[in-house]
Structure 1
Amino acid sequence: MAFGNGSLVKEFILLGLTQQPELQMPLFFLFLGIYVVSVVGNLGLIVLIALNPHLHTPMNYFLFNLSFTDLCYSTVITPRMLVGFVKQNIISYAECLTQLFFFCFFVLDECYILTAMAYDRYAAICKPLLYQVTMSHQVCILMAVGVYMMGFLEAIVLTGSMLSLTFCDGNVLNHYVCDILPLLKLSCTSTTINELEVFVVVGINVIVPTLTIFISYTLILSNILSIHSAEGRSKAFSTCGSHV
């Protein structure tokens, strides 16, 4: 993959969700409200878990990280999207690639945090006697570091594949965020290698977390169904409640 900006285009215009003036302000306030609720909810959960020692458990540790990545993810996208409702949304080439990097980084982080949470629930229900060892504080930290490292490296690969593209004269992105597919469509050079890289990375990051979560919850369900007492089943289901 050849890195370097051969682009003649120095900025992009994001078309946003709609070009109909009568819809722009209602959508602006709708998404602003959703964003505010998301920020308040995630910040509240982060502060609550951080300040309450009784909540310092593996499950809540991953919930803390999930809230953090969700907060960052929405902040990467929403403010720029809101700008598009009130004026022409122009973004520089450097800003576009920066937004793309953090967009990919936090999306991938969320996928693998959900995977770690599924494994945590599997360990709690299917291996309860070994749970304290399996999900020790050190293990949780290593899992979180691994999640962020994988997100970082794969975001570098995806963003790097966009750096090798050349944009000649078209600079209008039919989207509300700098994303991979709109950029590929806008390139005036061959995108075959870039598309292959994106296909492999995205494919891995869809299949691996999905399979891991599916297998974990299949084993959890099988274990719960093997419990004969109603009280035991109820307790096992409640253990998974916060993740679900």
Structure 2
Amino acid sequence: MSFNNSTSVSDFYLAGLGIQDDLRILFFIIFLVLYIITLAANLAIMIVAISDPTLHTPMYYFLGILAFLDICYSSVVVPKMLIDLIAQQKISFWGCMLQIHCFHFFGSTEGVLFSVMSYDRYVAIAHPLRYSTIMSYKVCLCLVLCCWVIGFSHSFLQTIMTARLPFCGPNIVKHFFCDVKPVIDLACTDVTLNINLLTRVTGTVASSTLMLTLLFYGLISRYLFKIKTWQGRRRALSTCSAHFIVVSLQYGTAIFTYAQPATKNSLDQERAAAIMFTVITPALNPLIYTLRNKDMKKGFKKLFKKL
């Protein structure tokens, strides 16, 4: 397969956030602080999950991977966005394709991981005595590998289908990062196939993983009613509530962005929604998990004492 045989565009410029010049410094500081929080908080979760032997369980193994994905996911977009807030810089054609690939790779991998994490919580609550047997190291490793494979396959398909399009100009992407919808909007050919592929494939990945997550939580709720004591129910809910909040934040914006047809008006709405799941959510995820998790709090205290 040959790529770009009629492409005259070698670089793209990102339109950015559409912020007034006098507000650029303010937003630069806000987004920089959120990005630092994302890096520091998620890195801290990874360190605690690895260093504390009491957290060497499937739940915290998945949480550590989620923290790693949040760092990668945010780093694909935010550094370039911060640079463009100060002085707009061009991005090469293949640099744009790489950003598309990495963004969808980490994003879709994280979406599948959410379903895996909900399955882990279901097994922990529904089959507590068999939990360590069902969620063995090999099973956890296989589940994580499936997440990476599905994420990479989905991303690779989207990237190839975008890279093969001819781009003759203009070269201004109406977004603050290279994403499939605003990039294919610049192609000088019919992109109906690409739009249908994006809507159906990405929408299917997001919707199916969400349905699996909701299915496991539905099964969990059935077992919660079988727990007679309120303390027992509260303990079970505490292990699921943080994950459910994070899932709601992530899937709400993702489905809004990709499960609708592309229009000029929708691109503006998607740019606003993208700020939520690329800048804000990765910074909120570690705070949500640590504030509602006693084991993580203890792990952080141990880490601080060592320091």
- Corresponding position of 1:112: 112
Q: Which has the higher contact order (CA 8 A, sep 6+)?
A: 1
Question: For residue 119 of structure 2, what is the amino acid of its counterpart?
Answer: Y
- Corresponding position of 1:222: 222
- CA deviation vs aligned residue, 1:24-47 (integer Å, no higher than 9, x gap): 111111100000011000011111
2:7 aligned with 1:12: no
Name the CA distance, whole Å, in 1 between partners of 2:136 and 2:241: 21
- Corresponding position of 1:205: 205
- Corresponding position of 1:176: 176
- Corresponding position of 1:243: 243
Following superposition, the deviation at residue 88 of structure 1 comes to 1.6
- CA deviation vs aligned residue, 1:6-56 (integer Å, no higher than 9, x gap): 321000010110252111111111100000011000011111111111111
- CA deviation vs aligned residue, 1:155-184 (integer Å, no higher than 9, x gap): 100101101211102100111000011012
Q: How does 1:31-180 map to 2 (within 5 A)?
A: 31-180=31-180
Question: For residue 192 of structure 2, what is the amino acid of its counterpart?
Answer: T
Task: Compare 46-55 and 100-109 and name the one that shifted more.
Answer: 46-55
CA contact (8 A) 1:100 1:178 kept: yes
Question: For residue 205 of structure 2, what is the amino acid of its counterpart?
Answer: N
CA contact (8 A) 1:166 1:189 kept: yes
- CA deviation vs aligned residue, 1:132-162 (integer Å, no higher than 9, x gap): 1211111001111110111111110010110
Question: TM-score scaled by structure 2?
Answer: 0.77
Name the CA distance, whole Å, in 2 between partners of 1:126 and 1:165: 49
CA contact (8 A) 2:108 2:206 kept: no
What is the SS of the residue equivalent to 1:207? Answer: helix
What is the SS of the residue equivalent to 2:90? Answer: strand
Number of aligned pairs? 243
Unaligned 5+ runs, structure 1: none
Task: Compare 229-238 and 186-195 and name the one that shifted more.
Answer: 229-238
- Corresponding position of 2:293: none
Identity %: 35
Name the CA distance, whole Å, in 2 between partners of 1:73 and 1:51: 24
Return structure 1 stretches of 4+ with deviation > 3 angstroms: none
2:186 aligned with 1:186: yes
Question: For residue 225 of structure 1, what is the amino acid of its counterpart?
Answer: F
Question: For residue 4 of structure 1, what is the amino acid of its counterpart?
Answer: F
Name the CA distance, whole Å, in 2 between partners of 1:37 and 1:61: 21
Name the CA distance, whole Å, in 1 between partners of 2:34 and 2:231: 38
- Corresponding position of 1:25: 25
- CA deviation vs aligned residue, 1:192-242 (integer Å, no higher than 9, x gap): 111122122112211111101111111111210222222321222223245
- CA deviation vs aligned residue, 1:92-128 (integer Å, no higher than 9, x gap): 1010001110000000011011111000001111122
Name the CA distance, whole Å, in 2 between partners of 1:94 and 1:238: 44
CA contact (8 A) 1:18 1:24 kept: no
Question: TM-score scaled by structure 1?
Answer: 0.96
What is the SS of the residue equivalent to 1:186? Answer: coil
Question: For residue 225 of structure 2, what is the amino acid of its counterpart?
Answer: L
Unaligned 5+ runs, structure 2: 245-307
What is the SS of the residue equivalent to 1:13? Answer: strand
CA contact (8 A) 1:112 1:209 kept: yes
What's the RMSD between the two structures over aligned residues? 1.3
Name the CA distance, whole Å, in 2 between partners of 1:34 and 1:238: 26
Name the CA distance, whole Å, in 2 between partners of 1:20 and 1:233: 50
